[in-house]
Chain A
Amino acid sequence: MSPAEIEGLQAALRSEHVAIWGYGIVGASVVLESRQAVRDVDAAHRSRRDELADLIRLRGADPEPTEASYELPFPVADPTSALKLAASLEAGVASGYAFAVSRSDSQRAKAFSLTALTDAALHQTSWHQLSGVTPLSPEFPGR
Chain B
Amino acid sequence: MLLAGASLGAVGLGPALGACEATSGQPSTPTAAAIDPLTPVLIGQQELLATYKHTLAAFPDLTASVSDLQAQTSAHTEALRAAAPAAAGQVAAASPSPFPAQSGSGPDQPGDVVTARSDLRRAVQVAAGTLRAAALRADGDLAALLGSCAASTACHVRLLG
Contacts and interface: CB of A to CB of B under 8 A. Distances in A.
B154 A118 contact: yes
A13 to B, nearest CB: 17
B61 interface: no
Interface stretch (B3-11, B34-42, B135-143): B135-143
A111 interface: yes
Interface in B30-75: 68-69, 71-72, 75
Interface stretch (B92-100, B111-119, B144-152): B144-152
Contact of B151 (A102, A107, A111, A141): A141
B71 to A, nearest CB: 8
A121 interface: yes
Interface string A83-112: 000000000001001110110110100110
A140 B143 contact: no
A96 B111 CA distance: 44
Contact of A102 (B68, B72, B143, B156): B143
A120 interface: yes
B82 interface: no
A114 interface: yes
A122 B136 contact: no
A94 B151 CA distance: 9
Contacts of B151: 94, 114, 117-118, 120-122, 138, 141-142
A27 B140 CA distance: 36
- Give the one of A105, A120, A124, A140 with max B CB within 10 A: A140
Contacts of B155: 121-122, 124-125, 136-138, 141
B144 A98 contact: yes
Interface in B72-88: 72, 75-76, 79
B143 A138 contact: no
A124 B152 CA distance: 10
A98 B148 CA distance: 7
B144 A102 contact: yes
A101 B72 contact: no
B148 A110 contact: no
B143 A110 contact: yes
B147 A114 contact: yes
The 8 A-B pairs with the shortest beta carbon distances in the complex, nearest first, are A137-B155, A121-B151, A102-B144, A135-B68, A118-B151, A125-B155, A101-B147, A98-B144
Interface of B: 68-69, 71-72, 75-76, 79, 132, 135-136, 139-141, 143-145, 147-152, 154-156, 158-159
Interface of A: 94, 97-99, 101-102, 104-105, 107, 110-111, 113-114, 117-118, 120-122, 124-125, 134-143
Given A122-B155, A142-B148, 14 more contacts: A101-B143, A105-B139, A111-B136, A114-B136, A114-B147, A122-B151, A122-B154, A124-B155, A136-B155, A136-B159, A138-B155, A139-B76, A140-B76, A140-B152
